[in-house]
Amino acid sequence: MTEIVMSQTPPILHGPSEKERKYDRQLRLWAASGQAALESANILLVNSGAGTVGAETLKNLVLPGIGRFAIYDEAQVEEADLGVNFFLDDSCLGKSRSQSLRDLITELNPDVQGTWYPNEGVKTLESLLADSPVFTAIIYTHPIRLDQLSQLKAYGQQHKTPLVAVHSAGFYSYFQINLPGAFPIVDTHPDETATTDLRLLTPWPELVAFAEGLTKDIGGLDNFEHGHLPYVVILLHYLEQWKAAHDGKYPTTYKEKTEFRKVVQDAARTGNPEGGEENFDEAAAAVLKTLVPPSLPSGLKEVFEYEHSDPVEQRSGFWLIADAVKQFYEKHQCLPLPGKLPDMKAQSKVYIQLQGIYKAKARKDAAEILQMVQAAPGGERVDPAEVDLFCKNAAFVKLINATGGGGSSSSSKISRADRLKSAAALEFANDETAAFTLAPLSLLPIYLALQATAHAVDKPLNADGILAVVAEQAPGAEQNERVVQAAQEVARAAGGELHNVSALTGGMVAQELIKIVTKQYIPIDNTCVYDGIVARCQVLRL
Amino acid sequence: MTSTEVHPASEPARWVYLDRIRTRPGPSTNPDVFSPEAAAAAMETMKILVIGAGGLGCEILKNLALSGFKDIHVIDMDTIDISNLNRQFLFRQADVGKYKAEVAARFVEKRVKGIKITPHNCKIQDFDEDFYMQFQLVVCGLDSIEARRWINATLVNMVDEDVEDSYKPLIDGGTEGFKGQARVIIPTITSCIECQLDMHAPRAAVPLCTLASIPRQPEHCIEWAHLIAWDQEKPFPQLDKDDPEHITWLYQKALERAAEFNIPGVTYSLTQGVVKNIIPAIAATNSVIAAACCNEALKIASNCAPALGFPEANYMMYSGNDSIYTYTFKHEKKDDCPVCGQLARNMDVDPTWTLRELVDSFAARPEAQLKKPSVRAEGRTLYMQSPPSLEAQTRPNLDRTLVELGLEEGQEIAVTDPAFATVTFKFKLKFKQ
Ligand SMILES: [Zn+2]
């Protein structure tokens, strides 16, 4: 039953490579697979305005080793740049800002390639977009010219490229991610404590047999053996007893579970020298958490119910596996077993055997799903490792931008303008009751005020000018007192950035791009607003 | 103290964005404390101390230099390692082995004209209160809880109610992976780092008997190699966790142990992670947290907007694992805080424990986290870690129970630890039934 984990010959000892040493602290977060994805990414920054938030974002992507980047920035370096942007110095004054930024940012990591535009050969954004290899993602900073924005949007749609708009001014900032379609993530890195799935209410024959073998003479075990029964085995044993006394039913209500917990607690031996048994303590503590019937988590439910509008998307590995997992779920009324056994007090050999039983069942489930995948058209191309990963994480799979993507269905075509209006109505209604609910106040006013200056390329707007634009975009909002204040605060900055706010925002944008590029962890959906006065963020779907 | 080489007022064009905020009030600016002319001028002469020149420290130095601070000191005893280069962006391959504080200070000084950064390549404990008294603000970017507790206790101790300048606001940042926190402490006024200690509970240690006889996880095999095999075999005179040869020895031992028990998953990287207690770290998160700290520094120094800790929320939690989530709240000051409170803190103990069991329990208690505690009760010395003569004299007490030592329910004990020389931790014993 136990797995052969090592061959007879001693394993080859190899220390980490130079690159593994350099990237050690991040490989612990996204592993070699995430690193490989980063290293094959090619990011475009279209930098305008005061230009610091874009530079700070790039810094945070170049350091962990993004493959390549390009900066498009039409500005020349001015005095004001040197008071806010760390990747420019006195020697850059009067030179092309994109070239200077490229030089001082590539210095951070010799593994990264950077290019700058406009230059002798490529003079406009339009020609850059037409002539470059496809970008993995594009970041653009506000304020941006409308014609350039529409070029970027067209490019994003054509190449299915994620676009990230970033705006930082004074104490405020926001960024907004525009994904080209529904964005599924398998490797979501849930908190370890959330991932325990022991199937104690639906044990399979091998597990039942193993538990019975250890507990058939539970009263006759010596204190050492009794005190080292794994809590999984203890719970399975007393669940059987419970069922026998309760018409074959498991404890399901809270009351029954606490009664059952008492049964387990009382079964611990107290006459031993320790005056109790840790493994029974562990068993009792696990009752409420682990005695739960299988259910379908909301994230996966959304995946199962997702209606495709794009046939190409539908034949991708993720969706073929999702279909198979759905079939599996309908057939067995449970998800594939992840197969991970938490640590628990037990003898080494017994624990390893039990771990082997969970792993074997997980492999069997994954094999069944792989078979289903391969039976589907196009399924033979799917990487079995991808199936394994999905099975291990099935309960935590997440779909981002489910309604905004797919490219067609009419519901997804609710215009951004309408979404903004309904979001404003909802947020302001919440704020009315915030005094009672103690919920933090909405940061939508900041978004509205900043967004009003998104194309103020030539001249910053004053507060009245900002409110006039807000009135067009979310009629009535311009009357809201907090919107008026936000407009005054945005006017105070007059398009200028504060380094701290841009560094903070650049950090968040880089985190999000790392998540999108590596397809690990969960990106925001879809707008994050930051208020540097109260030191707080809010994520809104706009 | 004004240094002559600093003359930013002559470069208004350079600081135009900052000055729009520093010299013009916004709707949330408090007019009672904000003075448009004074803010920038005050920052010209203000002395600010940065503790740590690592992942957070590099960012903090850059941010302060671009926030209008002109006279910055930085303390860090460490030298640069190759694994720093993925985020500590002031360092290059050629700097490996040099002092962090030194290299970071020179880099930022060279990049941002008109500022002075004084590096101190040493421990914070090497300085006394006179040194710390010269600063108006302290910004901390450390990965060690112990160093944070030390500077916190020192700054709280320095407060003299009659001297306004003796209150040194402490701004502290910390990160782990995609998560982090930024907090502002006004010594004796707001909740302090010691008040908040239980938010950073130590990881539960694996029982020694598990390591010794029933390992189940790869970590158990590694800890066995680290804590047991190393001491038995002493392959090198002293374990150096940064020496690859030493780590390789532990890895090899852990592998053998794992093979014996059929335990999968021991790798070099895991060995290094467990032995050095490595916390994952990336540039992006450091950027977020350091900037959150320095934004508070700018607000405190200029009064251009209300800062954390004055007096409402004083703590911002940040998490980027699942979307982005921040929680900004007021952490309440604790009356029984051993550093800034007046009362003894309740401590549950079992009266049948030996003094040794009590002494050993201090390390793991989230509210204490003391590794070398000495214990006194009502003027009686129960156990002293040093000097050796006193240790020998009090050692027999370790095997006596609390009851045998005459300790009673509700009694106060005083605990000291060499890591926090200025603090006496007062605990009130609560006997378990
Ligand atoms: Zn305190």
Interval B92-139: pLDDT, tens:
999 999 999 999 999 999 999 999 999 999 999 999 999 999 999 999
Q: Which of B280, B291, B318 sits opposite A28 (nearest CB)?
A: B280
The pLDDT assigned to B433 comes to 67
* Contact between A83 and B59 using a beta-carbon 8 Å cutoff: no
Q: Which residue of A has its CA nearest to B293?
A: A500
Q: Do A24 and B111 count as a contact with CB atoms less than 8 A apart?
A: no
Would residue B192 show up in a list of annotated catalytic residues for this protein? no
Domain B345-431, classified CATH 3.40.30.10, yes or no: no
Cα(A390) to ligand 1 centroid in Å equals 46
The sign of the torsion formed by the CA atoms of A520, A521, A526, A527 equals: negative
pLDDT more than 70, % of chain A: 95
B326-338: average pLDDT = 94
The residue among A300 and B4 whose pLDDT is bigger is A300
Question: B280, A497: Cβ pair inside 8 Å?
Answer: no
Element containing residue A45 per DSSP (H, E): strand A42-46
| ipTM for the predicted complex | 0.94
pLDDT given at position A112: 97
Question: What's the CA gap between A515 and A34, in Å, rounded?
Answer: 9
How close is the nearest chain B Cα to the Cα of A179, in Å? 14
Containing A488, the helix (H) or strand (E) segment is helix A481-493
CATH code given to domain A18-181+498-540: 3.40.50.720
β pairing state of A163-169 and A172-178: antiparallel
Q: Which CATH architecture has domain B208-276?
A: Orthogonal Bundle (1.10)
Read off the DSSP letter of residue A170: B
Choosing from B140, B192, B209, B304, the catalytic residue is: B209
3 state SS of A43: strand
The one-character DSSP state at A250 is: P
Task: Out of B63, B111, B282, name the one closest to residue A503 (CB).
Answer: B63
What is the C-alpha end-to-end distance of chain B, expressed in Å? Answer: 60
Tell me the pTM. 0.93
Q: Choose the CATH number for B16-200+281-329 among 3.40.50.720, 3.90.1010.10, 3.30.70.980, 3.30.572.10.
A: 3.40.50.720
Reported as a single tens digit per residue, the pLDDT across A452-473 is: 999 999 899 999 999 999 999 9
Centre of ligand 1 from the C-alpha of residue B197, in Å: 9
Long-range contacts of A88-91, Cβ-Cβ distance < 8 Å, separation of 24 or more: A89/B110, A89/B111, A89/B113, A90/B113
More confident of the two residues A4 and A69: A69
Q: Which of B115, B121, B112 minimizes the C-alpha distance to B52?
A: B121
The residues spanned by each domain of chain B are: 16-200+281-329, 208-276, 345-431
Q: Domain spans of chain A? A: 18-181+498-540, 200-290, 298-400, 415-493
Under 8 Å CB-to-CB from A403, ≥6 apart: which residues? Answer: A411, A412
What is the whole-number distance in angstroms between the Cα of residue B188 and the centre of ligand 1? 7
Q: How far is CA A94 from CA A76, A491, B136, in A?
A: 5, 27, 37
Q: Tell me how many degrees the CA angle B269-B271-B274 measures, rounded to the nearest 5.
A: 110
| CA A399/CA A271 separation, integer angstroms | 53
Using the predicted structure, report yes or no on whether residue A95 has a pLDDT greater than 80: yes
The whole-number pLDDT of residue A413 equals 55
- Could you tell me which chain B residue has the CA closest to the CA of A20? B83
Most confident of A309-313, A433-437, B137-141: B137-141
Cβ proximity of B277 and B22 under 8 Å: no
Burial status of residue B232 (CB atoms within 10 A of its CB: 0-12, 13-18, 19 or more): exposed
Gap from CA of B327 to ligand 1 centroid (Å): 21
User: Taking CB atoms and an 8 Å limit, are B284 and A86 in contact across chains?
Assistant: no
Nearest CA in chain A to B27: A485
The minimum CA-CA distance between A20 and chain B, rounded to whole Å, is 9
Instruction: Flag if B324 and A63 touch (Cβ within 8 Å).
Output: no
pLDDT in tens, B276-320: 999 999 999 999 999 999 999 999 999 999 999 887 899 999 999
How many angstroms separate the alpha carbon of residue B185 from the centre of ligand 1? 9
Q: Which of A79, A171, A528 sits opposite B13 (nearest CB)?
A: A79
> Which has more confidence, B412 or B10?
B412
Cβ contact A348–B263 (<8 Å)? yes
Distance from CA of A41 to the nearest CA of B (A): 17
Residue holding tokens 């920054």? Answer: A45
Residues 6+ apart with CB under 8 A from B407: B351, B377, B413, B429
**Model confidence over B343-373: pLDDT tens digits?**
888 888 999 999 999 999 888 888 888 999 9
Of A5, A15, A24, the CB nearest to B244: A15
Separation CA B283–CA B302 (nearest Å): 28
**Number of Cβ pairs < 8 A linking chain A and chain B:** 274
Q: How are strands ordered across the β-sheet holding B137-141?
A: B116-120, B71-75, B47-51, B137-141, B170-176, B179-185, B315-319, B325-329
Residues B273/A28, Cβ–Cβ less than 8 Å: yes
